């Protein structure tokens, strides 16, 4: 699938998952940065993305500097979202139950 597929992991704890923390995480899992992006950012922007993709329910904004875990934790799903090149959600897979074959098959259907 090569350049047709991009993985995006979005932090559910932007207060503590800084770009350097996420870069270290990616290195630990030998993630190719040209194919797998680890994203974080302003709390509102992160949670707007997650709730827009129906991956989480927006909790009250945590207090600044709240220790983790705690006020910054977000109850979220393990679903994988399939988004096409036009930015349209094309499907969801259960990240805990889906096999590698399920994921590859779903991606192939989207990139056709």
Torsion of CA 57, 76, 26, 112, to 10 degrees: -80
> What's this model's pTM, rounded to 2 decimal places?
0.72
> Containing domain of residue 103, as a range?
78-112
Question: pLDDT digits over 32-60, tens only?
Answer: 888 888 998 888 888 888 888 888 766 66
Q: What per-residue confidence (pLDDT) applies to 20? A: 94
Mean pLDDT over each residue of the chain, to the nearest integer: 81
Kindly state whether residues 67 and 86 are assigned to the same domain. no
Kindly state whether residues 64 and 83 are assigned to the same domain. no
Torsion of CA 31, 21, 43, 34, to 10 degrees: -20
Number of domains in the chain: 2
């Amino acid at each position: 699938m090569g350049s047709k597929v991009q993985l995006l992991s979005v932090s559910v704890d932007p207060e503590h998952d800084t770009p350097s923390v996420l870069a270290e995480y990616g290195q630990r899992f030998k993630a190719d940065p040209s194919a797998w992006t680890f994203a974080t950012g302003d709390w509102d922007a992160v949670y707007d993305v997650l709730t827009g993709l129906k991956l989480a329910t927006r909790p009250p904004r945590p207090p600044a500097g709240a220790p983790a875990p705690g006020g910054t934790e977000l109850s979220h799903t393990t679903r994988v979202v399939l988004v096409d090149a036009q930015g349209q959600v094309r499907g969801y897979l259960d990240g805990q139950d889906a096999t590698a074959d399920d994921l590859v098959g779903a991606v192939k259907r989207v990139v056709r």
